[in-house]
Structure 1
Amino acid sequence: MEKVRQKPESRCGCKAQIKFKRVPNLSCYKIYVWDTHHNHDIHPPEQVHFLNHEVNPFQAALVERHAEVGIPIRQSYQLFSRVVGGDENVGFRPIDLKNHLSSKRQLRLQHGEGTSLLEFFRDESIKKPNYYYSVQVDSDEEISSIFWADGIMRSDYAAFGDVLCFDTTFRTNHLYRPLGCFVGFNHHRQMCVFGCALLFDETADTFSWMFNTFFECMSGKHPISLMTDQCASIRSAVRNVVPSSVFHGLCSWHISENAKKKLGSYANSKFMEELHFLIEDVDSPAEFEFNWDKMVKKCFHGKDVDQITWLTFIKGYKEQWSSAWVKEYFTAGLKSTQLSECFNSLVRKYVKYGSTLTQFFEGFNSMIRRLRAIEVESNFSAIQFLPKNHFPHSSIMQHAAKVYTPLIFAKIHLEFEVISSYFFQPVLSEDEGSLKTFSVFELLNPEDHTSRVDERIVTVDLREIKLSCTCRMFTNWGFFCRHIFKIMEMFASSGNNPRLRTIPDEFILKRWTRLAKGGFDLYADLPPITAHVPTYEESYQQLCLYVNQIAIRVCMFEEPYQVFVKDLIEARKRAETSIQSLGPVKSKRPLDSLAIGVKAASNKKRGRKRFKALTEKRRYKKRASRKKKLYITNAQLSNVASELEFSSSASSGTKHCFLYWLNYCTHFT
């Protein structure tokens, strides 16, 4: 039997009251009841603000925005208190904010979570151009899986969809749905989200539906490389849906961690070193087989490794994780699903476990806005600041600094700065013509040419201006290696071939350049002119933007401030008159539900987090003693800063002006 919470009684039948009425034809009121006899103790002045408390529409809208970005109610209340000068001036208590958010959630779910979810997606598709979503409904008309991607995600995939990473680690709420995320790298090599799916389960059929829906959303474009973990269901779906021309790579990090779990004491430092060499540094299948046999003899002391199931399994998929094969494909340097792990960590900052699906999507959108703000900031820095170039006299590096984004140029710079320690030697062959071949190497001992390390063969076609290196860095990363730069610098300094004084255009991947997304739109920040009638929230946000900009400006000057306040008061009076002439206005949108609910997932026994080996737990346990993070993160503060543009030390004039326009926005949106 559910326990009933006992609520203290606050009603005591007190008869104290005052009543008054307006006197006709006179500008005054007449008191006709006056009873000051109370049957209870009188509250002192410092407690009066607890008696009458109400959250006004502006405060309600603002706390809803705070909740969307993950700011707790207590911190929201503290922000309000700081703005108005103390708790006694706020006009409500923290419990009132909690009750408001709870009522808001109940109102959204009054027609069922399935209908609320479809309403959310319908609104998103109206507000955002090229918004795409697909809902999988079962025979009982319950939503089982959902996929969505907005227009920017789709355009990002068109520009950066050559490398795709997929993972399903994150769990959303009490329905225990796995969140499938498609992520990749943008031109700054930052995380870029292409699309997401809330899945019913993790079966091959569900993953097949998701991959088919994703590629349909992206107009049938497939990546060059797809990175996933070792989940059997994902591998099966990839085989059934993704073309064989797409390289399917397995996460190298998971392979290393699984080795520690599966091999026990055999997975010592010696074994992990050998395994890492097989993952990162072998260049050919023959070299892989040689070093695999070497590892078995060195670490297993002649034991029949065919009896070790995991070793047999992982060797069977060697083409999907060893550098001997991975280097043949463009992966942008991505060797694991750690990009997805970072994405899941970021989601947890914006979405609380146990939230409703509509709350999840609101928090998710806040996270996406933050990621895009980071990209915009990187674009600004790329224009505002010149990258550090230690070789200003090199025409190759001058060209690279102008073309590539700063982070990619920094990686190219690291390759170029070591070429002084490398040597080259022509490889003679008959009837070469315009085709030249060089051996490029580093010497451990400059006086001993037999002490060569990192020796590679660079081939140059001087007629067609084609360059290649056996290290395959350009194939795998998308920019030249130190070996090619060594030969290019030799030709550039000799002046024999001026076409090699800069990086040839056909070897510049647009996805790493400053113009990877085709430049930028000067008018992208202006709101579109449409016939769409704005909602209350949209009108409020637009009015806040306009008034906030002028308020920040005029508060710096006394006379403009007085003029602005006077005009604002007059504008309020005119708006009040206009509102009263309209009378009561009510508007409701029709609901066109296609689903009666959201289907509960069946795999509830699975843990909320990815299983971690004992070694990984020990590694992360050391971080427990670190300083606790602040209640409000930088991402959350950036959203608050867009609402509150002044600090606690701002002048009284600034605060008064701020309160004026807040009141104005509250009444006329």
Structure 2
Amino acid sequence: MYDFYKKYAYVVGFPVKKRNSKKGDDEVVRYMTLTCSHEGGINSNSSGSLKPQPTVKMGCKARIFGSSDTFGNWRINAVNLDHNHETSPSKSRLYRCNRHLSAHVKRQLQVNDLAGIPLHKSYNSVVVEADRYENMTCIEKDCRNYIEQVRCLRLGEGDAVAIQTYFSKVQAQSPGFFFSMDLDDDLRLRNVFWTDNWCRQAYKEFGDVVMFDTTYLTNKYDMPFAPFVGVNHHGQSTLLGCGLASSEDTGTFIWLFRTWLECIHYHAPHGIITDQDRAMQNAIQVVFPNTKHRLCLWHILKKLPEKFGYQVDKGSIFGDIHGLVYDSQSTGEFEDGWRTIIDTYELHDNDWLSGLYENRGHWVPCFFKTTFWASMSTTQRSESMNAFFDGYVHSKTSLKQFVKQYERALRNKVEKEFQVDFKSFSQMVPCATQLEMEQQYQSVYTISKFREVQAEFTGKVYCDIQSTSKDSSKVTYEVRDTIMCEGHRRKKTYTVSYERDECEIICNCHLFEFWGILCRHAITVLALNDVTHIPDKYILRRWRRDVRRAHTRVAVNYNGLVSTLAQMRYDEMSTGFAQLANLVADDERRSRAIIEWIKCQCEELTSTKSSIGIRVLAYWIQS
């Protein structure tokens, strides 16, 4: 009866609703009144409002009243077809009672939302598929409401409870998943940390050096995203855990660091890079007392214009400080050069520079270049990780939406690493020289790391040995390197010591110790001594492509789509129809036969559902 009245209303051009219904003694609905949606009077409570909300209630009396007997036969008892307002068939599609989302549209919206496609673009694609707006059975607001509902269903109601529920579900599916939530005295969510088994296994391979940065705000609560970032065997940023923090004080960082340390079984990294945040530095001293702490050089040097913008000689100051920081080969050379700059530009009273000098052991490269930092020099790696998440979150992303988007972003990151692994497995960069040493690296290093090694082999042509001195079994070489910098040629001399018996070589540029790549100065000396085979200690496992790593065996959970049994059946049928269409699309006879069969099935199912409406129509005509 309802379906029939809706069809009639659609043709006439008015909306309908169920006014009331009543059940009999057997708890089965026996009476029902269907009315025009404009039925009812305006709410008196809103009549005195200065900004009353629009209402559909206009006191319309159009309605039908029906009842059913004990056999389930329905009869129309009363009909009123007169309306006190205009009707318009062309507007019928916009009434709420006539709008609905098909299973196909729902699935398309869900998939697009999981892929990070904005809602308005998803809706436009549905309109294009329908050919025009007149063929649409929904409006953009319906699509938006549906997506909001699905997001809510994914995580439930409330931030803390929803996140804990979601994390517990993931943990049940993946025992390696780790999370911790920090609540305040009122049981409100304050800080949260989580990581999955893939990241925890990746830490075993790439957790020697990490970066930690909290400059990336991701949600409407202004809670900074705090990722622990490493670098993998391809030189790519890789996520080793992340948190969302309510503040940036020492206590918060201590909680976050201790939680992460528990997650990685108390195997602290050898080195950590952060910005100049004092609270962060204090927390590192408490939680990671034996970890080398390095400040981000990029963050420090970018403050120069702000600190010296008033100086007449600011250009010269910038240039001299940059040159001193990057070119100093020893701590003594840096300290002498620093005093010269201070005296030359009369900067003795500059408190900012005085603070930097006192803390020079944490940011000037020559003070820690003998320590391995896996080519990580600034927190720009952390910023690149933030840029990676930019495709999945934005400034209005809620907290509970973010933790779900994290999974999709990580899935994408894992796939990209897998693709680069495949490229290093299936391809090889040709050698640029005839040296067997280069061929040795070519056979074992990933493509990206071999290119870095190859740059040192080709750079050997700019190196000349100036002098040698021998002390027992150790020979010291002075190697002059011609460096091109911004179109200018500079010559710089490096000291390389070589011990033939152990084939041990050390250059005072310390590229290998710092970066893990043998420098051109060392290669020049090795080639001079007819070395054809690099000792294994100069081929790092970290950069090899022929190593099977544990994290590559870990699957990333990806259960973003909420699938009911009906939805799964729909997907199965859709896949089957698509495969069938691909098989017979070129065969006119079979295509026509299948199309006719589909039409027959649709007509049969439609006629079954509308048989009740036909019986109602017959009763109505008879009455």
Which string of whole-angstrom CA distances, capped at 9 and with x for unpartnered residues, describes residues 71-125 of structure 1?
2221111122233433344421101122223445566787532211211111221
Q: Does 1:328 align with 2:370?
A: yes
Contact 1:441 1:452 in 2 (8 A): no
Q: How does 1:203-602 map to 2 (within 5 A)?
A: 203-244=249-290, 246-266=291-311, 268-298=314-344, 300=345, 303=346, 305-391=347-433, 393-424=434-465, 427-432=468-473, 435-442=474-481, 453-492=491-530, 500-515=531-546, 518=549, 536-537=562-563, 554-558=580-584
Distance 1:430 1:225, change over 3 A: closer
Superposed displacement of residue 400, structure 1: 1.5
Q: Partner of 1:474: helix, strand, or coil?
A: helix
Closer, same or farther: CA 363–518 of 1 in aligned 2, 3 Å: closer
Q: CA deviation at 1:384?
A: 3.4
State the structure with bigger RCO (CA 8 A, min sep 6), 1 or 2. 1
State the Cα distance separating 1:379 from its structure 2 match: 1.8
Q: What's the CA shift for 1:171?
A: 2.4
Q: Distance in 1 between matches of 2:122 and 2:438?
A: 50
The farther-off stretch of 77-86 and 122-131 is 77-86
Q: Deviations over 1:285-312 (max 9, x none)?
A: 11001211222233x1xx2x34211011
The alpha-carbon deviation at position 326 of structure 1 amounts to 2.5
Which runs of structure 2 are paired with 1:586-625 in the superposition (5 Å)? none
Q: 2:532 corresponds to which letter in structure 1?
A: R
Distance 1:548 1:465 in 2: 65
> Deviations along 1:627-653, whole A, 9 cap, x unmatched?
xxxxxxxxxxxxxxxxxxxxxxxxxxx
Matches of 2:266 and 2:355, distance apart in 1: 32
Provide the secondary structure at the position in 2 that maps to 1:307.
Answer: coil
Whether 2:172 is the aligned partner of 1:126: answer yes
What is the one-letter code of the residue matched to 1:199? Answer: A
Structure with greater proportional strand content:
2
TM-score calculated relative to the size of structure 2: 0.76
In structure 1, C-alpha distance between the alignment counterparts of 2:496 and 2:575, rounded to whole Å: 58
> Residues 382, 127 of structure 1: CA spacing in aligned structure 2 closer, same or farther, 3 A cutoff?
same
Cα distance in structure 1, aligned partners of 2:194 and 2:557: 23
**Secondary structure at the residue paired with 1:349?**
coil
Match of 2:113 in 1: 67
Q: What amino acid maps onto 2:582 in structure 1? A: M
Q: AA paired with 1:326?
A: F
Equivalents in 2 of 1:113, 1:365: separation in Å? 17
Say if 1:554 and 1:560, in contact at 8 Å, map to a contact too: no
Counterpart position of 1:48? 93
Q: Determine if contact 1:18/1:34 at 8 Å carries over to the other structure.
A: yes
- Give, in angstroms, the shift of residue 425 of structure 1: 5.2
- Go from structure 1 to structure 2 and tell me whether the alpha carbon gap of 1:226 and 1:96 turns closer, same or farther (over 3 Å shift): same
**8 Å CA contact retained: 1:120, 1:358:** no
Aligned match of 1:95: 141
How many percent identity over aligned positions?
Answer: 24
Q: Which residue of 1 aligns with 2:229?
A: 183
- Measure, in 1, the Cα distance between the counterparts of 2:575 and 2:502: 57
- 150 and 519 in structure 1: CA distance in 2 versus 1, 3 angstrom threshold: closer
- Seen in structure 2, the aligned counterparts of structure 1 residues 565 and 198 have a Cα distance that, compared at 3 Å, is farther
Long gaps (5+) in structure 2: 1-47, 484-488, 606-623
Deviation for aligned residue 1:10 = 6.5
The CA distance in 2 between the partners of 1:191 and 1:205, in whole Å, is 28
- Kindly indicate whether the alpha-carbon contact (under 8 Å) linking 1:17 and 1:33 is maintained by their aligned counterparts in 2: yes
Task: Give the secondary structure class of the aligned counterpart of 1:428.
Answer: strand
CA 192–569 in structure 1, closer or farther in 2 if over 3 Å, else same: farther
Q: Describe how 1:78-157 pairs up with structure 2 within 5 A.
A: 78-104=124-150, 112-157=158-203
Offset of 1:508 from its aligned partner?
1.5
Alpha-carbon distance, 1:534 to partner: 12
For 2:447, give the aligned amino acid.
P
**Cα 1:89–1:252, aligned 2, differ >3 Å: closer, same or farther?**
same
Partner of 2:464, secondary structure, is: strand
Partners of 1:33 and 1:73 in 2: CA distance: 45
Amino acid at match of 1:236: N
Paired residues of 1:252 and 1:321 also in contact (CA < 8 A):
yes
Are the equivalent residues in 1 in contact too, given 2:211–2:274 (CA < 8 A)? yes
Q: CA deviation at 1:539?
A: 7.1
Q: Residue type of the partner of 2:127? A: S
Bigger shift: residues 258-267 or 503-512: 258-267
Distance 1:48 1:145, change over 3 A: closer
Q: Is the 8 A contact 1:188 1:405 kept in 2?
A: yes
Give the Cα–Cα distance (whole angstroms) in 1 for the partners of residues 498 and 88 of structure 2.
90
Report the secondary structure of 1:91's partner residue.
coil
**Whole-angstrom CA distance in 1 between matches of 2:225 and 2:459:** 43
Q: What residue is the counterpart of 1:638 in the other structure?
A: none
State whether residues 20 and 32 of structure 1, in contact with CA within 8 Å, keep that contact through their aligned partners in structure 2.
yes
| One-letter identity of the residue aligned with 2:285 | R
Match in the other structure for 1:163: 209
Structure (1 or 2) with the larger CA radius of gyration: 2
Aligned-pair CA distance for 1:554: 4.5
Task: Give the C-alpha shift of residue 443 in structure 1.
Answer: 6.4
**Residue 511 of structure 1: CA displacement?**
1.8
SS of the equivalent of 2:391 reads helix
Asked if 2 retains the 8 angstrom alpha-carbon contact of 1:49 and 1:88, the reply is: no
Once the 2 structures are TM-superposed, how far is the Cα of residue 513 of structure 1 from its aligned partner? Answer: 1.7
Give the CA RMSD over aligned residues: 4.0
> 1:16-67: CA deviations, max 9, x gaps?
7799999x999xx999999876665554558636561112455445424433
**Equivalences, count:** 544
1:279/1:321 contact within 8 Å kept: no
Q: How many angstroms apart in 1 are the aligned matches of 2:223 and 2:423?
A: 39
User: Secondary structure of the equivalent of 1:427?
Assistant: strand
User: Residue type matched to 2:500 in 1?
Assistant: L
**Structure 1 unaligned spans of 5+:** 445-450, 493-499, 577-669
2:315 aligned partner, one-letter code = S
Q: Is the 8 A contact 1:164 1:183 kept in 2?
A: yes
